[in-house]
Amino acid sequence: MPYLVTIGLEVHAQVKTHTKMFCACRTSFGDEPNTHTCPVCLGLPGALPVLNQAAIEKTLITGLMIHCSSPEISKWDRKNYFYPDMPKNYQTTQMDLPLCIGGEVPLYEHCYPTDHRKNIANPGKKVRLNRIHLEEDVAKSTHLGNSSLIDFNRAGTPLMEIVSEPDIDSAEEAFAYLRSLQMILQQGDVADADMEKGQLRCDVNISLRKLPSDPLGPKVELKNLNSISAVRRAIHFEIARQSEDLDRGIPQIQSTRRWDDDRGETQLMRTKEDAHDYRYFTCPDLLPIRTAPLLEKVRPLVPELPHELGARFETDFGVTSYDASVLSSDRHLASYFEASLHPAIPGKKVANFLINNLLGKLNEQGIGIDACPVRPEKLRSLLLLVEDGTLASNQANEVFTVLYQEPASDPASIASQLGFKKADAGELESLVDQAIAANPAEVEAVKAGNEKLLNFLTGQVMKLAPTKPNPKQVTEILRSKLL
């Protein structure tokens, strides 16, 4: 029988700072293991932590972006447990007075899996948040059969834990939530949120019950999820696994399971601890902070959210909702788009060229818009050549191909080198007249209604031209003379 699915997510996002949460060691990815460490992040006896103000401010910006509130006083606590990646035997985190409380994350429709966008159960849904607290990341463990390697470069990196309420009903909504949240974090420049680099990690809490009136079923936590698509696959498997157990009368127990992506299944790790097992207590080494002064400082830094940015693009520049969703999905792309605009170029044409041409070229090379060799002002110059009639669309594509390889070049110079020139109106009319005189049968067919032959006549004019005029101009002159 079908069961009601209830899902909550705990998302850990590394805050984008130059140094760690409680010491001056540099945050890094991919450097030699254990090269960015000190007594504080190694947890040596007697080492005292010092708060990273930038990490606190970026967490508060995150809260403001997604409509969280903040307590007047926020403090740090110790969460006690032993694990090889936490040699102090405790983690400095926040329990009862986190920096951010409540809030919500909108589920953007273009963030759902592509194969599910036509079947969204709850369009416009927003997932409520419980809290965002700030803590230190643990070291990275690499397990090798009977031994483990520990890299402390990651230990102490500022880490936001973003905890949702159990508002998510399906694997597809979980997918959309993670993509939407990732987009918001990147838009605010508070986190790079790259799952492949471990900058964004997610634990899934999932339970099943028969009826809405029934209490929530025992919570099963899923770990070892290293991509958003893996989260979707793991949830689908776990729903099927729990449903089969419940159908057979096997009750679920609160537990933690790991996802094995190669085998496509979850495996039991341990029964789940409760909060009292961690013996939380207030950290004696760190003073509480007043949030009001910091909130006032960072409030002007809160950017437009992707949906606000997209709505402005639609209203101000006349792009479609699809174009707006693509352009607003990446803050670098949004900035590039705005920098490419010109009063003489319709915003829709700029959006089309960016999405259909530029992004395609970048995707071929596997790079982002922030690494694009063609600067926005160069693209603007190219599109102005289209608007003034110098280039046809297909000619602009040819110029862009060269420009991408030679980004320092001037688009007009490239067009000239390729033979694309805006022909003199009188010269062009003369060539049109020659083509008309040389092709009487086709001319009569056009006058009789066969407009497809205009393309043939345009081609004849292009052959007569010493340069390569804009074929659109040629066709318009032919149309005016024959129709």
pLDDT tens for each residue of 381-417: 999 999 988 888 888 999 999 999 999 999 999 998 9
For the cut 60, the answer to whether the pLDDT of residue 275 exceeds it is no
Pairwise CA distance, residues 182 & 410, whole Å: 37
Other CB atoms within 10 A of residue 4 CB: 14
CA dihedral angle for residue 122, residue 164, residue 138, residue 31, rounded to 10 degrees: 30
Mean of the per-residue pLDDT values of the chain: 91
Of the listed ranges 80-84, 239-243, 383-387, the least confidently predicted one is 80-84
Radius of gyration of the chain (CA): 30
Beta carbons within 8 Å of 374's beta carbon, 6+ residues apart: 358, 400, 403, 404, 407
For the cut 80, the answer to whether the pLDDT of residue 425 exceeds it is no
pTM, 2 dp? 0.85
Among 6-10, 143-147, 278-282, 462-466, the range with the most confident prediction by mean pLDDT is 6-10
Pairwise CA distance, residues 189 & 62, whole Å: 9
CA dihedral angle for residue 236, residue 14, residue 324, residue 126, rounded to 10 degrees: 50
Residue range 311-352, pLDDT digits in tens: 999 999 999 999 999 999 999 999 999 999 999 999 999 999
Q: What is the mean pLDDT of residues 200-225?
A: 93
- 257 pLDDT band (50/70/90 cuts)? very high
Q: Are 206 and 220 in contact (CB under 8 A)?
A: yes
Pairwise CA distance, residues 392 & 465, whole Å: 15
Closest CA to 229 of 190, 261, 271: 261
Query: Which H or E run contains 59?
Result: helix 53-65
Q: Name the packing angle between helices 425-438 and 471-482 (round to 10°).
A: 60
Other CB atoms within 10 A of residue 5 CB: 22
- 87 pLDDT band (50/70/90 cuts)? confident
Pairwise CA distance, residues 255 & 287, whole Å: 35
Other CB atoms within 10 A of residue 315 CB: 10
Among 261-270, 290-299, 441-450, the range with the most confident prediction by mean pLDDT is 290-299
Q: What CATH code would you report for 425-482?
A: 1.10.10
* Domains of the chain by residue range: 4-298, 304-417, 425-482
Tokens 């834990």 belong to which residue? Answer: 161
Residue range 162-200, pLDDT digits in tens: 999 999 999 999 999 999 999 999 999 999 999 988 899
Of the listed ranges 121-125, 225-229, 263-267, 449-453, the least confidently predicted one is 449-453
